[in-house]
């Protein structure tokens, strides 16, 4: 027999009205009671009648989450946190993938059914303002660097983060630092903001060397290919530090350095971005800019639910925190400049 609200109430030690209030996301419920009821719902296997809930509240209790790629560790880790936060608030998450292509992003915006989902959390890469204006998505919150004016967006300060990462490499004795990860044939607001921070910090440190290396994507293979080409290039002299657009690119870069017989960090120090779980557990743990992913998830879900529940305020940027997780890939003993480096062109 299917579990009922009465079963949940008995397990949680509350009234059936309280269970109903939690299921319908009534806000004037203490967090302790909400947690007990949600735990009891899981324990007894209760499944709310969403059709009835929708008729009562005008909301389905379902929100959509769209990311470019779920095989990129950062998106997978952030999705887990978003799902956890949404469930804590009594919502279920429908997950979708766009591959970062404008056509797929625009099609997704057209397909969103406001009778099915209450709102959309959207990590956009290529869509334009008119794609959103021509859709009827309802409440919308953007995640990441791609900005649509007038829309809530949750992101870290990529320029400041890239400056902090570059400054760390300079402090470790690096003087010829290359950036690995400019998008070759596609749009990447993320990479452009991180390149800006990298260049600003080199200027602040009075270091004239600049080298920005293109990639075809943001996976390990792309970092491996980019650094393999860098090592093969003939040009202005050795590189002694790498700032990579994200951690998969950095992990691929370190593999290329290892294949070439170069030591990390003694010959070349390496820093990545996003601090995915894999980065801390390699043979040489990777230094990485660590966004506060939990804060990003909490801000995103909170802002979206506020709008679902009728908040009518101008959209704006909400900045989450970050820190630099320093590990063996960049931490040089003595910080006096390192060894041989990699050949490259300025």
| Per-residue confidence band for 33, with pLDDT thresholds at 50, 70 and 90 | confident
What would the pLDDT profile of 279-309 be if each residue is shown by its tens digit? 999 999 999 999 999 999 999 999 999 999 8
Q: What is the mean pLDDT of residues 142-146?
A: 93
Say which DSSP state 122 is in. E
What would the pLDDT profile of 321-331 be if each residue is shown by its tens digit? 999 999 999 99
| Contact assessment for residue 67 and residue 75, using Cβ atoms and an 8 Å cutoff | yes
Q: Smallest Cα–Cα separation from 156: which of 281, 3, 318, 39?
A: 318
Q: What is the mean pLDDT of residues 188-205?
A: 96
pLDDT of residue 340: 43
| Residue percentage of the chain with pLDDT more than 90 | 58
Say which DSSP state 265 is in. T
Say which DSSP state 277 is in. G
What would the pLDDT profile of 63-90 be if each residue is shown by its tens digit? 999 999 888 889 999 999 999 999 988 8
| Contact assessment for residue 176 and residue 209, using Cβ atoms and an 8 Å cutoff | yes
pLDDT of residue 26: 67
For the chain, give me the number of helices (H) and strands (E)? 12, 14
pLDDT of residue 312: 81
Please return the burial class of 269, using the count of CB atoms within 10 Å of its CB with bins 0-12, 13-18 and 19+: buried
Say yes or no to pLDDT of 48 above 80.
no
Say yes or no to pLDDT of 246 above 70.
yes
What is the rounded CA–CA span in Å between residue 93 and residue 16? 25
| Residue percentage of the chain with pLDDT more than 70 | 89
Say yes or no to pLDDT of 256 above 60.
yes
| Per-residue confidence band for 49, with pLDDT thresholds at 50, 70 and 90 | low
Q: Smallest Cα–Cα separation from 69: which of 38, 43, 101, 44?
A: 101
pLDDT of residue 224: 98
Label residues 279-315 b or e (16+ Cβ within 10 Å = b).
Answer: beebebbbbbbbbebebbbbbbbebbbbbbeeeeeeb
What is the rounded CA–CA span in Å between residue 137 and residue 139? 6
| Per-residue confidence band for 32, with pLDDT thresholds at 50, 70 and 90 | confident
pLDDT of residue 55: 42
> Across-strand partners of 183?
215
């Amino acid at each position: 027999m299917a579990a009922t609200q009465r079963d949940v109430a008995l397990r949680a030690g509350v009234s059936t009205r309280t269970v109903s209030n939690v299921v319908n996301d009534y806000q004037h419920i203490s967090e302790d009671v909400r947690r007990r009821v949600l735990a009891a719902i899981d324990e007894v296997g209760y499944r709310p009648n969403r059709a009835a809930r929708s008729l009562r509240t005008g909301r389905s209790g379902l929100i959509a989450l769209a990311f470019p790629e779920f095989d990129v560790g950062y998106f997978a880790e952030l999705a887990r946190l978003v799902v956890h936060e949404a469930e804590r608030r009594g919502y279920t998450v429908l997950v979708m993938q766009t591959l970062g292509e404008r056509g797929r992003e625009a099609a997704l915006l057209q397909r969103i059914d406001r009778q099915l989902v209450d709102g959309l959390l959207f990590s956009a890469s290529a869509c334009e303002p008119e794609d959103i204006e021509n859709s009827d998505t309802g409440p919308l919150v953007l995640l990441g660097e791609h900005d649509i004016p007038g829309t809530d967006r949750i992101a870290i300060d990529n320029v400041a983060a890239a400056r902090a990462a570059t400054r760390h490499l300079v402090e470790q004795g690096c003087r010829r630092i290359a950036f690995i990860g400019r998008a070759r044939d596609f749009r990447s607001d993320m990479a452009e903001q991180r390149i800006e921070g990298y260049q600003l910090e080199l200027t602040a440190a009075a270091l004239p060397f600049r080298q920005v290396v293109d990639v075809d994507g943001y996976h390990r293979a792309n970092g491996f290919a980019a650094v393999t080409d860098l090592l093969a290039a003939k040009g202005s002299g050795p590189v002694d530090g790498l700032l990579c657009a994200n951690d998969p690119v950095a992990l691929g870069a370190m593999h290329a350095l290892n294949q070439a017989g170069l030591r990390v960090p003694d010959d070349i120090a390496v820093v990545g971005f996003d601090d995915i779980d894999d980065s801390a557990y390699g043979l040489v743990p990777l230094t990485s800019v660590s966004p506060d992913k939990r804060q990003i998830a909490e801000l995103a879900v909170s802002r979206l639910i506020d709008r679902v529940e009728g908040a009518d305020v101008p959209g704006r940027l909400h900045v989450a925190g970050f820190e630099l997780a320093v590990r063996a890939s960049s931490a040089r003993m003595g910080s006096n400049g390192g060894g041989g480096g990699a050949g490259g062109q300025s």
